[in-house]
Chain A
Amino acid sequence: MFRATALNRRNEQVEWLFKALFFLMTLVLVIPVALILGVLVVKGHSAISWEFLTGMPTNGMTAGGILPPLLGTVWLVGGSVLATVPLGVAAAIYLSEYAPDNWLTRVINLAIINLAGVPSIVHALFGVGAFVLFFRFGSSILAASLTLAVMNLPVVIVATRESLQSVPRAFREACWSLGASRWQTIRHVVLPNSLSGILTGIILTVSRAAGETAPIMFTGAVFYSPFLPQGIFDETMAMALHVFVISTQVPGVPENLPYGVALVLITMVLAMNALSVAFRVYLRGKKKW
């Protein structure tokens, strides 16, 4: 009575087939990640040392350390986060909590989606036009950071908005009915419960900002600088650009050097990603409803 029919058996086979297929596809996805990391570690680990991280480049960048690009990237990322976060979070709060559903809001949402789709080299050209030339910041950390910030804005806005929207509307209504204003509701109930998602979004933009080359190429990052940046109006070297430069533009670079720089860069990025994952896991443990 409960014996499998031919149809059952065929369903089971098809089931197995699709499961295997999807699993293989997932594996394919992991392969490039593993390969990239593997190659970088194998070919680049020999370049890495304390002196490498803290020293200045020497011999026309064919030897020595990577302190200037390393610090430069920290400056650029820090600057871009400082600009993106207040702007992006404020915009997301407006769009999620205040904006009426009208044509203006729809246009703004459309603009954000389109901004997310703009190629980074176009962001670079915008950065040159707007920050370097129009605002007269020159080619500087400030201009490059702001260009990165514009690039990252949609990411922060979308992540923040999603996170705010995940707080049930019933919480807002309960809070409003207690006589709380919209802002009090946001401050006491909505923001504390969407912080994890917002922080995750911010951290992801950090790794994006650290890895981008195009937006900073014309706006503040330089080929080579014998100095460490002293302020936001200085130009600076940057990790991503440095990898490009010593891989293609400088003759006589030992093979392990570009790999070593790339390894440091990807380690920074992965560390930020790991931090965001850890955040999520930690906050999931404290899930409040």
Chain B
Amino acid sequence: MVAATPGSGIVLGAKLGEGTVSVSASAPVKVEARGVTLGYGKRTVLRNASFQVREKEIFGIIGPANSGKTSFLRAVNRMAEMVPGMWVEGSILFDGEDVTSFNNVYALRRRIGVVFPLPVGLPLTVYDNVALSPRLAGVGKKTDLDEIVERCLRRAALWDEVKDRLHALGSLLSGGQQQRLTIARALSQEPDLLLLDEFSIAVDPVTTMRIEEVLKELRGEMTIVMVTNLVQQARRLAHRTAFFLNGEVVEVGDTEAFFTGEVQDPRTRGYVEGKFG
């Protein structure tokens, strides 16, 4: 159960507004990429990626466009199978199990919430947007659904704005509201892994900050993999960060190390300092 208790579990001394914190290296591994190579048709977009995402950390993935960041997320929840021509080699372990070994891909996807770059409010009511996933999972009782919808909307910092129009169309909310709606929808799955794909690309700076506050509350409760092309966003939120460049994982390490000059690769330093990308 996702309970509204920021600070529970292994929160690593993180407080709102504080900088990045380090995750103890002994935290269990949540997601592990082992030699992941993937692409579309004849094109390879990510080569031999190997790294670990630890339990209940925010793991940032930074890098310029076309580095294979989004494609990697697609491989994690096996959405790759729904994309014509996309292929994945190597293995991705989720809680130690190869994702492709899940016979029930729907159960796998239910454990993994996804937030897309462009806000996708489904053309359902606000209420139904959030209630859809629980309904698909078999929750039928109105009181249960009411409770889930309110809790998720509150957690996504959207409740106050939509509580009087839960039965208006979700796709007609503003872009920023829709993006928070998608976060509420992702939370309604009670995921233990949240994949965020450049969530701030289409929302205003204020909404971005509000969503970042939400994420800070969520860290410590679930593992979050956050693809972003804003280096500073990774710095604000991510415990550890991977730098993808042209289909290669150049560097993985504590986010702070990216900014203190401890990183090894000159390309990483160049990117973080804004020399390209």
Interfacial residues of chain A within 154-174, with CB under 8 A of chain B in the complex: 170-174
- Looking at A176, A177, A289, the one whose CB has the most chain B CB atoms below 10 A away is A177
A113–B118 CA distance with the chains assembled, in angstroms: 36
Segment of B50-58, B106-114, B212-220, B260-268 engaged in the interface with chain A: B106-114
Question: Given known contacts A189-B124, A289-B123, A289-B171, is B82 in contact with A176 (CB within 8 Å)?
Answer: yes
Q: Which chain B residues lie closer than 8 Å to A179 at the CB level? A: 106-110, 133, 136-137, 189
Question: Given known contacts A171-B122, A188-B132, A189-B123, is B106 in contact with A177 (CB within 8 Å)?
Answer: no
Interfacial residues of chain B within 87-113, with CB under 8 A of chain A in the complex: 106-110, 112-113
Say if the beta carbon of B139 comes within 8 Å of chain A: no
**Contact B171–A178 (Cβ < 8 Å):** no
Interface size class of B (residues with CB under 8 A): 20 to 34
Of the candidates A101, A170, A175, A192, the one whose C-beta lies within 8 Å of that of B84 is A101
Q: Which chain A residues lie closer than 8 Å to B123 at the CB level? A: 171, 189, 192-193, 288-289
**Contact A173–B79 (Cβ < 8 Å):** yes
Question: Given known contacts A171-B122, A174-B122, A179-B109, is B171 in contact with A288 (CB within 8 Å)?
Answer: yes
**Contact B132–A176 (Cβ < 8 Å):** no
Say if the beta carbon of A90 comes within 8 Å of chain B: no
**Contact B120–A174 (Cβ < 8 Å):** yes
**What distance in Å separates the Cβ of B15 from its nearest Cβ neighbour in chain A?**
31
Quick one: CB contact mask for A116-152 with B, threshold 8 Å, 1 for yes?
A: 0000000000000000000000000000000000000
**Contact A170–B107 (Cβ < 8 Å):** no
A100–B86 CA distance with the chains assembled, in angstroms: 12
- Looking at B108, B113, B123, the one whose CB has the most chain A CB atoms below 10 A away is B123
A282–B52 CA distance with the chains assembled, in angstroms: 53
Question: Given known contacts A170-B116, A289-B171, is B79 in contact with A178 (CB within 8 Å)?
Answer: no
- Grouping DSSP codes into helix (H, G, I), strand (E, B) and loop, the A interface class, with mixed when no group exceeds half, is helix
Quick one: CB contact mask for B128-150 with A, threshold 8 Å, 1 for yes?
A: 00001100110000000000000
Say if the beta carbon of B228 comes within 8 Å of chain A: no
Say if the beta carbon of A180 comes within 8 Å of chain B: yes
**What distance in Å separates the Cβ of B35 from its nearest Cβ neighbour in chain A?**
25
**Contact A178–B120 (Cβ < 8 Å):** no
A178–B113 CA distance with the chains assembled, in angstroms: 7
Say if the beta carbon of A11 comes within 8 Å of chain B: no
Say if the beta carbon of B169 comes within 8 Å of chain A: yes
**Contact A176–B79 (Cβ < 8 Å):** yes
Say if the beta carbon of B185 comes within 8 Å of chain A: yes
A118–B172 CA distance with the chains assembled, in angstroms: 44
Determine the residue in chain A with the shortest Cβ distance to B133.
A178
A109–B189 CA distance with the chains assembled, in angstroms: 38
**Contact A177–B77 (Cβ < 8 Å):** yes
**What distance in Å separates the Cβ of B159 from its nearest Cβ neighbour in chain A?**
20
Question: Given known contacts A101-B84, A173-B82, is B116 in contact with A178 (CB within 8 Å)?
Answer: no
- Looking at A174, A188, A289, the one whose CB has the most chain B CB atoms below 10 A away is A174
**Contact A175–B132 (Cβ < 8 Å):** yes
Question: Given known contacts A173-B116, A288-B123, is B106 in contact with A181 (CB within 8 Å)?
Answer: yes
Say if the beta carbon of A184 comes within 8 Å of chain B: yes
In the A-B complex, the 9 residue pairs with the closest CB atoms: A179-B110, A288-B123, A177-B114, A289-B171, A174-B120, A179-B109, A178-B133, A179-B106, A170-B120
Task: Using CB atoms and an 8 Å cutoff, list the residues of chain B in contact with chain A.
Answer: 77, 79, 82, 84, 106-110, 112-114, 116, 118, 120-124, 132-133, 136-137, 169, 171-172, 182, 185-186, 189
- In the complex, besides A173-B79, A176-B79, A189-B123, 9 extra interface pairs with C-beta distance below 8 angstroms are A171-B122, A177-B109, A177-B114, A178-B132, A179-B137, A180-B132, A181-B106, A188-B124, A289-B123
10 contacts between A and B (CB under 8 A): A170-B120, A174-B120, A174-B122, A174-B182, A176-B82, A178-B133, A180-B106, A180-B136, A189-B124, A289-B171
